[in-house]
């Protein structure tokens, strides 16, 4: 990317003012160091400045340092809209995999204990947690019961023996978004989602066994509070709402595309199809989106239940005895109603986060990296609430397309190379594995360091991969 067009606001903030493109209501801002900015595709600027033209947008259109081109919004995009000022809701600002998100679990197992049983453990997890395109889960529910799942989220899981009551308190929204409305969801979406509870899916989704090394702890006080110890193992899950969320996104993009003329809305890109948040169509989508978000929370919860079963089988101990507790679960593809001060006035806004994580003051922020390089746990800050609508990065961000990665990397060789480095990975597809090579991603440490320097999220601990299950 040519960075000469930007005004540099600070070491890690770059801005394009409203004169950059006709129709921009607010400036576009990218959080990145110079190297990360240069690595971004030109389409990121095109998409972000298109977002800045949407009705009712407030303050800035934002992109995080892991940003890359997406559908409508760039991935890493954040934007907030005022419903009282014609503010909209757009599926392109949330993503097709609604509530794709991250879950982190602690354990009291030592690295050496797990290393000694790594292969059987990963093999058991691979068998226990279905992965890949079209994977079906072990939980069989009727259409009516599935509607209850997507209304109640993790509460349904706990009530039906797929979790511990204490899990609820460690999940965004306690694992249940209250405004979910199944009457706004198509039969096609219900049919697609019904069999996918407890499945990882494909692409960059994974279940990973990670090591906590003392040299990678940046804040001992916070790790202690969160129950994470040096020399121990943690577990990370990255997945979302599967075909259910995808179908809801597809359904409403068609609806919004058809109704925009009725509301006098024009967009720079049809992928940004939207409706006023307060319109019937906007409210219908908000209710359907919440159903998909609840399914994603429930999906990660059933996977957690299966992880606990797999560990019990391999180590012949109860999950409670191994300390398999939830640290936190946070969404990174979602729209929420949140209050922020704009020009001295507190307003309730519709905050879109697409490939961006909520970063409220003191809240755990889980940042997923590539299976070769590892991930991070950070903590949210007050400054994020003041500057970025309480948002930060969600991962390392792609550096090359999936097609590019498959041209450059062979899955079988990558699997062997990783095993030689002490990382045992099982994947449904070798071509899918190649797409997720570490070289296909930005340097996660650079991404995390950028937002740490900006004061938007603070580094707590870097987590190194040991075993991985991929779709």
Q: Which residues are catalytic?
A: 394
Cα(459)–Cα(446) distance, integer angstroms: 11
User: Of 27, 88, 22, 91, which Cα lies nearest the Cα of 63?
Assistant: 27
Q: Taking the CB of residue 144, how many other CB atoms lie within 10 A of it?
A: 9
DSSP 290: H
User: Is the Cα torsion angle 293, 298, 299, 301 positive or negative in sign?
Assistant: positive
Query: Which token pair is 319?
Result: 């999950």
The pairing of strands 424-427 and 457-470 is: parallel
Contact 244, 292 (CB under 8 A): yes
Q: Distance between CA 424 and CA 60 in Å, rounded?
A: 43
Residue with tokens 């307003």: 347
Strands 88-89 and 356-358 turn out to be: unpaired
Fill in the DSSP letter of residue 74: P
Which phi and psi angles does 157 have, rounded to 5°?
Answer: -60, -50
Task: Write the DSSP assignment of 204-260 as a string of letters.
Answer: T-EEEEEE--GGGBS-HHHHHHTT--TTEEEEEEEE--HHHHHHHHHHHHHHHHHHG
Question: Judging by DSSP bridges, how do beta strands 375-380 and 457-470 pair with one another?
Answer: antiparallel
């Amino acid at each position: 990317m040519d960075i000469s067009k930007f005004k540099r606001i600070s070491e890690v903030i770059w801005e394009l003012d409203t004169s950059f493109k006709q129709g921009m209501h607010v400036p576009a801002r990218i959080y990145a160091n110079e190297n990360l900015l240069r690595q971004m595709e030109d389409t990121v600027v095109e998409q972000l400045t298109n977002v800045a033209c949407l009705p009712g947008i407030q303050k800035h259109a934002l992109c995080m340092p892991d940003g890359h081109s997406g559908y409508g919004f760039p991935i890493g995009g954040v934007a907030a809209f005022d419903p009282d000022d014609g503010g909209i809701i757009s599926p392109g600002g949330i993503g097709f995999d609604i509530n794709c998100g991250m879950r982190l679990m602690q354990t009291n197992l030592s690295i050496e204990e797990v290393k000694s049983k790594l292969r059987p453990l990963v093999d058991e997890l691979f068998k226990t947690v279905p992965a890949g395109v079209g994977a079906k889960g072990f939980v069989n529910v009727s259409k009516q019961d599935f509607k209850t799942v997507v209304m109640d989220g993790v509460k349904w899981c706990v009530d039906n023996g797929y979790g511990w009551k204490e899990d609820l308190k460690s999940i965004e929204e306690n694992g249940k978004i209250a405004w979910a409305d199944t009457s706004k969801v198509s039969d096609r979406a219900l049919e697609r989602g019904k069999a996918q509870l407890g499945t990882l899916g494909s692409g960059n989704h994974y279940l990973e066994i990670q090591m906590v090394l003392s040299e990678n702890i940046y804040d001992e006080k916070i790790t202690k509070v969160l129950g994470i110890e040096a020399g121990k193992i943690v577990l990370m899950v990255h997945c979302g709402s599967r075909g259910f969320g995808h179908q809801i996104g597809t359904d409403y993009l068609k609806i919004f595309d058809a109704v925009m003329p009725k509301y006098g809305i024009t967009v720079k890109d049809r992928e940004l199809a939207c409706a006023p948040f307060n319109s019937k169509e906007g409210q219908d989508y908000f209710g359907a989106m919440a159903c998909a978000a609840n399914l994603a929370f429930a999906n990660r919860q059933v996977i957690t239940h299966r992880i606990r079963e797999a560990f019990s089988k391999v180590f012949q101990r109860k999950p409670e005895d191994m300390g398999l507790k939830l640290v936190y679960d946070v969404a990174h593809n979602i729209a929420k109603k949140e209050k922020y001060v704009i020009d001295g006035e507190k307003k309730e806004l519709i905050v879109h986060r697409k490939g961006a994580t909520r970063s409220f003051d003191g809240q755990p922020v889980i940042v997923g990296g590539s299976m070769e390089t590892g991930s991070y746990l950070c903590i949210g800050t007050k400054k994020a609430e003041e500057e970025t609508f309480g948002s930060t990065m969600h991962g390392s961000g792609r550096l090359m397309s999936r097609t590019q990665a498959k041209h450059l990397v062979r899955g079988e060789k990558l699997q062997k190379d990783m095993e030689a480095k002490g990382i045992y990975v099982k994947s449904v597809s070798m071509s899918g594995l190649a797409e997720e090579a570490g070289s296909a991603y930005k340097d996660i440490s650079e991404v995390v360091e950028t937002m740490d320097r900006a004061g938007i999220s603070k580094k707590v601990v870097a987590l190194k991969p040991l075993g991985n299950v991929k779709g």
